[in-house]
Amino acid sequence: MRDVVIYTTDYCPYCRRAEAFLTKKGVPFTQVDVTGDDAAREALVEKAEGRRTVPQVFIGGKPVGGYTDLIALETAGQLDALLNG
């Protein structure tokens, strides 16, 4: 399974939803909290191809978007293929 990294803040309800979804699906992930860390947030924006919102989910180092993007991939039947490479 490819590495999954999720960038979050401690006040983001969509972050909690993304974490809960991945946990329920049995997908291990690394959480990076960027709350109050301006440098980390700027690095995230660069890594996420200009996206400024959280959560930002990366699978195998590639940005896939936020919570709704994650759910859209699951609904379309594409998430497992991304996760398993």
Q: How much is the pTM?
A: 0.93
Helical ranges in the chain per DSSP H: 13-25, 38-47, 67-75, 79-84
Nearest to 60 by CA among 82, 43, 81: 82
Confidence of residue 67 (pLDDT cuts 50, 70, 90): very high
pLDDT in tens, 9-63: 999 999 999 999 999 999 999 999 999 999 999 999 999 999 989 999 999 999 9
What domains can you pick out in the chain, each with its CATH number? Answer: 4-79 (3.40.30.10)
pLDDT at 85 over 90: no
